Amino acid sequence: MRTIFYIVQKEFLQVFRNRMMLPIIFVIPVVQLLILSYAVTFEIKNINLYVVDNDNTVSSRSLLEHFRSSPFYHITGQGTNSRLGMEYLQKGKAHQMVVLLPGFEKNLVTGAPARVQVINDAINGSAAALMNAYTMSIISDYNKTIITRVLPAAASPMNVCWSFWFNPELDYKTYMVPGILVLLVTIIGMFLAGMNVVREKEIGTIEQINVTPIRKYQFIAGKLIPFWIIALFELAIGLLAARLIFDIPLLGNIFLIFFIASVYLLVVMGIGLFLSTITNTQQQSMFLAWFVLVIFILMSGLFTPVESMPQWARSLNVVNPIAYFIAMIRMVMLKGSGFQHVSDKLGLLFIYGIAMLSLAVWRYRKTT
Amino acid sequence: MNNAETAIEAKDMVKRFGSFIANDHLTFSVYKGEIFGFLGANGAGKTTAIRILCGLSKPTSGEIRVAGFNVFTETEKIKKHIGYMSQRFSLYEDLTVFENFRFYGGIYGMSRSAIREKTSEMLGKLGITELRNTIIASLPLGIRQKLAFSVAIMHTPEIVFLDEPTGGVDPITRRQFWTMIYEAAASGITVFVTTHYMDEAEYCNRVSIMVDGRIEALDTPAKLKARYEAASMNDVFIKLARNTIEK
Amino acid sequence: MKRFVIKEFLHIFRDIRSMVILFGMPLVQVLLFGYAITNEVKDVHVSVVDPSHDQVTTAIQQRLFASGYFLQGEVLYSQGEIEESFRKGRNKMVVVFDDNFAQKLERREIPSIQLIADASDPNTANLLVNYANGIIAGYNQSMAVSAGGPVIVPEIRMMYNPALKGVFMFVPGIITILLMLVSAMMTSISIAREKELGTMEVLLVSPLKPLHIIAGKVMPYVLLSFINAISILILSHFVFGVPVNGSLALLLAESMLFIVLALSLGIFISTVSNNQQTAMMLSMFALMLPTILLSGFIFPVENMPVVLQWLSAVMPPRWFILIIKSIMLKGTGLAYFWKETIILIVMTLVFILASVKKFKIRLA
C-alpha cells in the first residue's frame, strides 16, 4: 500500500509541475464543454429557402406566406425561374427550393391535384428528412385550412397532441452535455494513464522501477489512481458547469453518477494501461488508443441514436464501455433512474473493468 | 579474498537474440565486498550481462545466482537485495532531488524518517545539501550522475550494479565518482561496475575483460598487467583485442 | 537530405502496428459509418395504449407500423406504466388513443391521440413525434380526399443524395478527420518526440537546415495522408456508391492543399508544446473535437449559435468539408468555392509563418 502511495504522489507532482499540462487537463475540457454543447444540435432552426412562384395568385402567395411567417424558414431568394434556384442550391446558399407551378389555384378550385415541387439538398440525409417533414406539415396545414373552408365536415376530425417527457423544451444541450462529459472523462482516463507508462519506457526510467522489488499490481495501481482521481475531479467540475451554466437537470442521485463513473474509469484506464504494455512509444500507444476510442465513440450512441444501428452493430456494443456509460449517465441524470435500473449494466461494467486491469497487470513485464 | 563468500555466481551464462550471441558462456564469480570491473568495448555485451544479473532480462541458459538467488526463478527476491544505476538517465528530470530520493526510497519500502535521514546524509557527503529542493533538469550532468548513484544505494543493497556510470562526465567528476564507489564498498556493498574507460579498471579489485560476448581475461589489474606484460590496463585491453582478431 | 527523408520513412513504415492502424482505421471507419452508424430514425420501439381497439385506431396503428420508423414495443395497458417503461429504456414513444375513439369520431366529438416521447434524446423524440404526426395527418388527408376536398400534392426531390444515405454526409467528414489526424496530430507528436528525447538538438546542430529537417519529417505523412484519402474514396465509391461528380483532379489538388494546411498546423502545435503528451492533448482537444463537432461534419453549422458559427469559421475543416462536398456530391467546380480555397491558403500561410517565427525564437 505504501509503495502505491509513493507512485501516486510522484505522478501528481509530475502532472502539477507541467505548466502546459495543467490547463490542458483542467481548463480546456471545461471550455470545450461550454462551446461544444452549444454546437451539437440536430435541431433545424434556419432552413434557407428559395421560392419560385410561377402561379402568382392569391392561393400561391398565401401558401408562401405560411413559409415566410414560420420561424424555421429564412427566404434567401425568390423568383420565377427555378434554374436560378438550382444555382442557389449548388452554391449552398439555399437548402431547399419550393416551386409552385402555374395553375396551382385553378387546380385547387377544380379539385384537380395542385402540385408543389419541393427540392431538398439531401447531402445530410437526416437533416433533409426533417426539413422535408417541416415543409410537408406547412403544406398540409395550409391544405387543412382550405379544406375547412370548402368542406367543414371533413376538417380536423381528431386532435393530435404531444408531450416530451424528461425534456419538455427539447433542449438539445440537456442531452449532449452528459455525453460530452463522458467524452472528456474518457479522454483523460484512457490517454493520460496509458501514455504515462509508455513515457517512462521511452525516457528509460521504467528500468529503474523494474529493478526494484515492486509488485506488478502495485505499479499498475500507482499509475491508475492519480488519473482516476483527476478524471473524477474533472467530472465534478463538468457537472458543476452543467448545473450552473446549462441548468441541466440532475434528477438522479449524484453519488450514483460518481459511482458509475468510478467503475467506468476502471475499464477505460484498464484498456489504456493494457495498450501501454503492448507498445513502446507514445506515438504508437496514442495511435492505438485513438483508434479504439474513435470506434467506441461513434458506436456509443453519443451522437447518433443506438436504435438506428443494425442488430450486429448493437451486439458489438457489448464490449463498448462508452455505450454503457452514456446510457447510464443519461438515465440517471435526465430520467432519475436509480441503482436498480442500472445495476445490470453496472455489474457488467465492473466485471469488464476487473478483466481489463488484470489483463494489464498480467501483460506488464518487469523482465524481458 | 579467495575464501570469501560470493555475491554473484555465473556459470555458462548465455544470451542469444535470434542468431546473435550477446553473452557466450560467461563464467565468473564476484566476492562480497569487492569492486568488480566489467570491461569491454561498446557492444561487447556488458549491458546485456548486467541486465540479466539485475533481473531485467532473462538469460537463454546458464546457472546464475545473485545474492544467493536464482535469476530464472527468483528475480523478484534478487531485486530486494540490489541497487541499479542504468546507463540511460534514471532520475525524473521534472522532480526535485528530494522527491526523487523519496520516490525510490518509498518503493524500496523505507520508512519516512529513514528516507529523510538518508537523503540529508548523502547530500551532506556530496556537499550539496542546498540543492535538496532543486529540479533535476537544472543540474549539471556530473551532479546528476552522483545523485543517481546515491539513489541506487540509498536502501543499502548488498550489491549495486553500475552500468557505465561515468559516461560523458569530466575527469574530475569521474575521480569524485570513484571516491563514492570506494566509500560504498567500504561500507560493505559489493560493486559491479561496467565501463569502457580502461584507466578506471585500475580502481577495481578484480576485472573481467569482454571481447565479442566472451570473457577473455579475469583477474586483478596487477596480475593482468604482469601476464600481458603491459604498462597499463589500456595496453592489456589492446593486446587482448588484437589476439581475438588474430584468432 | 534524401537520407534523412528515408530514415523518417523507415521509422514510420517499420512499425507494423502503426501501419495497420493508419491504413486500417479509415477503412474501418468508412465501413462503420456506411453500415452501422446513421442518424436516421428507423425501427424504434414504440408502444401503444389503445383502450378502444376499433377499426379507426387499428387503421392508424397499421399505418404507423407500416412506415418503417416504428417497431411494436412493450405492451402497456395504462398511462401509469409509461414512466417506468421510459426509465428502463424499453420504449422511445408511446401513442395513447382516447377510449371509444371511432364512436367519438362519428359523433363529431374530436377524440384525441397523445404522442408521448422520451425526450431525454430530444433529436429522436422530435423526429418520432414529427413522423407520427405526419402519418396521422396523412390518414386524415386521405379521409378528406375520399370525401372530395381540394388537395395539394407535394412532389419531393432529394438532390445529390436521393436515398438519403448517411454515408454521403459522412465520407467527406471522415476524409477530413483522417487527414487532420494523420497530418496534424502525427506530425506534431513526431516532432515533439524528437524534442523530448533530445534528438532534435542533434539534428539542429547537423548541417541540415531547419527547413529541411521539418520537410523531411513531414514528407512521409504527406504520402500517408494522400494514400489514406484515396483509399477512402475508392472504398466509399465501390462499396457504398458515393459518387465523385466533379473533377477528380481538382478533388485531389484540394486535398493536397488541406494536407499541407494540416501539416503546418501540426508543426505549429509541436513548436508550442514541450513534450509528446502535451502535443497529443493539444491536438486532441484543440483539433479533434472541434473537427468533429464544429465543422459541420455531423452537426450542421447553420443551426449553431452565431458565436459558434464565427468560431467554426476559423476551423480549417469546415471549409474543406464544404469544398469536397461540392466537388463530390454537387459536381461543381472552382467557380463555386474559390473563396473557401483562398481561405485555406491564407490559413496555411499563417500557420507556417507562426511556426517559423516560434522556431527562430527557440533557436536564438
What would the pLDDT profile of A224-275 be if each residue is shown by its tens digit? 999 999 999 989 988 888 888 888 888 889 999 999 999 999 999 999 999 9
User: Does residue A111 sit in the same domain as residue A198?
Assistant: no
Partner residue opposite C332 with nearest CB, options A90, A119, A286: A90
What's the rounded Cα separation, in Å, for the pair B220 and B233?
A: 11
Tens of pLDDT, residue by residue over B206-243, are 999 988 888 888 999 999 889 988 888 888 888 887 87
Residue A205, domain member (yes or no): yes
User: What is the predicted pLDDT for the residue at B83?
Assistant: 92
Inter-chain residue contact A151 with C280, CB threshold 8 Å: no
Give me the CATH number covering residue A66.
Answer: 3.40.1710.10
Give residue B3's pLDDT band: very low, low, confident or very high (50, 70, 90).
very low
Average pLDDT over every residue of C267-291: 79
Top-confidence range, A34-38, C17-21, C340-344: C340-344
Question: Which cell goes with A208?
Answer: 529503474
What count of other Cβ atoms lies within 10 Å of the Cβ of residue C6?
13
C121 contact residues in A (CB cutoff 8 A): 175, 305, 330
DSSP output for C107-127: TT---EEEEEEETTSHHHHHH
Residue A17, domain member (yes or no): yes
Residue B106, domain member (yes or no): no
Nearest residue on chain C to A27, judged by CA atoms? C285
Q: Considering only residues C117 and C356, tell me which one the structure prediction assigns the higher pLDDT.
A: C117
CA distance C330 to chain A (A): 6
Show which subunits contact B, needing at least 3 CB pairs below 8 angstroms. A
Q: Which of C23, C293, C306 to mutate to test the interface with A (most CBs of A within 10 A)?
A: C293
Inter-chain residue contact C119 with A187, CB threshold 8 Å: no
User: Does residue A252 sit in the same domain as residue A103?
Assistant: no
Inter-chain residue contact A203 with C197, CB threshold 8 Å: yes
Q: 3-class SS at B84?
A: strand
What's the rounded Cα separation, in Å, for the pair B226 and C1?
A: 52
Answer whether B119 touches A (CB < 8 Å).
no
Residue A163, domain member (yes or no): no
pTM for the predicted model, two decimal places = 0.79
List strands edge to edge, sheet with B190-195: B82-85, B159-163, B190-195, B35-40, B206-211, B214-219
Inter-chain residue contact A126 with C166, CB threshold 8 Å: yes
Answer whether B84 touches A (CB < 8 Å).
yes
Inter-chain residue contact B106 with A6, CB threshold 8 Å: yes
Q: What are phi and psi of B225, to 5 degrees?
A: -65, -40
Inter-chain residue contact C119 with A168, CB threshold 8 Å: yes
Asked whether the beta carbons of C32 and A299 are under 8 A apart, the reply is yes
C147 contact residues in A (CB cutoff 8 A): 151, 153-154
- Percentage of chain B modeled with pLDDT above 90: 48
Q: Considering only residues B7 and C211, tell me which one the structure prediction assigns the higher pLDDT.
A: B7
Residue A262, domain member (yes or no): yes
C108: pLDDT strictly greater than 60? yes
Answer whether B82 touches A (CB < 8 Å).
yes
User: In this structure, what DSSP letter does residue B5 have?
Assistant: P
Count of domains in chain B? 1
Partner residue opposite B79 with nearest CB, options A13, A203, A212: A212
User: Does residue A143 sit in the same domain as residue A178?
Assistant: no
What count of other Cβ atoms lies within 10 Å of the Cβ of residue A368?
8
Partner residue opposite A14 with nearest CB, options B57, B58, B94: B94
User: Does residue A17 sit in the same domain as residue A55?
Assistant: no
Partner residue opposite C308 with nearest CB, options A38, A119, A283: A38
What angle, rounded to 10 degrees, do the helices at A28-39 and A216-244 form?
50
User: What is the predicted pLDDT for the residue at C37?
Assistant: 65
B94 contact residues in A (CB cutoff 8 A): 13-14, 17-18
Residue B32, domain member (yes or no): yes
Q: Name A39's Cβ contacts closer than 8 Å, sequence gap at least 6.
A: C293, C294, C299, C304, C308, C312
Residue B185, domain member (yes or no): yes
Nearest 5°: the CA angle A204, A206, A207 is 80
Q: Name B54's Cβ contacts closer than 8 Å, sequence gap at least 6.
A: A211, B66, B78, B79, B82, B84, B161
Q: Considering only residues C145 and A194, tell me which one the structure prediction assigns the higher pLDDT.
A: A194
- Percentage of chain C modeled with pLDDT above 90: 9
Q: Out of B112-126, B174-188, C41-55, pick the least confident.
A: C41-55
Answer whether A123 touches B (CB < 8 Å).
no
User: Does residue A280 sit in the same domain as residue A357?
Assistant: yes
Tens of pLDDT, residue by residue over A57-95, are 998 999 999 999 988 898 998 988 888 988 888 888 888
Partner residue opposite A126 with nearest CB, options C28, C40, C336: C40
Count of domains in chain A? 2
Nearest 5°: the CA angle C76, C82, C84 is 110
B91 contact residues in A (CB cutoff 8 A): 205
User: Does residue A200 sit in the same domain as residue A293?
Assistant: yes
Q: Domain range for residue A111?
A: 47-154
Inter-chain residue contact C197 with A167, CB threshold 8 Å: no
Average pLDDT over every residue of B91-95: 88
Please identify every stretch of chain A with a pLDDT value under 70, giving residue numbers as ranges.
Answer: 40-43, 151-157
The alpha carbon of residue B167 and the mean position of all alpha carbons in its chain are separated, in whole angstroms, by 12
Nearest residue on chain A to B135, judged by CA atoms? A17
User: What is the predicted pLDDT for the residue at C364?
Assistant: 46
What's the rounded Cα separation, in Å, for the pair A30 and A16?
A: 18
User: Does residue A117 sit in the same domain as residue A14?
Assistant: no
Which among B43, B47, B13, B42 is positioned nearest to B29, based on CA atoms? B13
Q: Which of A127, A154, A181 is the last residue of a domain?
A: A154
CA distance C3 to chain A (A): 22
Q: Domain range for residue B232?
A: 6-89+158-246
A113 contact residues in C (CB cutoff 8 A): 151-153
Domain assignments of chain C as residue spans, ordered by start: 2-37+164-363, 44-146
What's the rounded Cα separation, in Å, for the pair C257 and C229?
A: 13
Q: Name C86's Cβ contacts closer than 8 Å, sequence gap at least 6.
A: A165, A166, A335, C118, C120
Q: Out of A139-148, A230-239, B167-176, C20-29, pick the least confident.
A: C20-29
CATH superfamily of C44-146: abc type-2 transporter like domain (3.40.1710.10)
Inter-chain residue contact C161 with A128, CB threshold 8 Å: yes
What count of other Cβ atoms lies within 10 Å of the Cβ of residue C31?
15
Residue B96, domain member (yes or no): no
B2: pLDDT strictly greater than 60? no
Nearest residue on chain A to B55, judged by CA atoms? A367
Nearest residue on chain C to A248, judged by CA atoms? C120
User: Does residue A230 sit in the same domain as residue A150?
Assistant: no
Q: Which of A1, A2, A6, A366 to mutate to test the interface with B (most CBs of B within 10 A)?
A: A6
Q: Any bridge partners for residue C152, and if so which?
A: A114
User: Does residue A254 sit in the same domain as residue A107?
Assistant: no
Tell me chain A's radius of gyration from C-alpha atoms.
Answer: 28
Of chain C, the end-to-end C-alpha distance in Å amounts to 24
User: Does residue A131 sit in the same domain as residue A192?
Assistant: no
Nearest residue on chain A to C291, judged by CA atoms? A36
Q: Which of C129, C158, C181, C332 to mutate to test the interface with A (most CBs of A within 10 A)?
A: C158
